[in-house]
């Protein structure tokens, strides 16, 4: 999500939404709980979430149904 030295030397860089631009779960290494994080803002045009990027790649590779198991990023059945 951020331009850093690793991204600078990458062959492919995909624009991905930050944690403020998606519904997600958070947990630290020493946390005993998982915290729900709600979307604060919509991502800019052309920016997708990690799930949207990986499920899109899986569909193009012919394993989309296996990757998504028929669910959206929220876990809702879509098929």
Q: Give residue 19's pLDDT.
A: 87
In 1-79, where does DSSP find H-type helix? 5-8, 50-60, 64-68
Q: Give residue 79's pLDDT.
A: 60
46-67 pLDDT per residue, tens: 899 889 999 999 999 999 999 9
What are the Cα distances from residue 16, in Å, to 32, 37, 70?
A: 28, 17, 22
| pTM for this prediction | 0.74
Q: Give residue 30's pLDDT.
A: 87
Q: Give residue 77's pLDDT.
A: 86
Phi/psi of residue 54, nearest 5 degrees: -70, -35
pLDDT at 39 over 80: yes
pLDDT at 9 over 80: yes
């Amino acid at each position: 999500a951020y331009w850093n030295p690793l991204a600078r030397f990458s062959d492919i860089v995909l624009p991905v939404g930050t944690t403020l631009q998606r519904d997600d779960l958070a947990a630290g290494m020493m946390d005993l709980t998982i915290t729900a994080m709600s979307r604060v803002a919509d991502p800019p045009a052309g920016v997708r979430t990690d799930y949207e990027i990986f499920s899109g790649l899986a569909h193009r590779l012919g394993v989309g149904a296996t990757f998504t198991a028929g669910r959206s990023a929220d876990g809702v059945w879509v098929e």
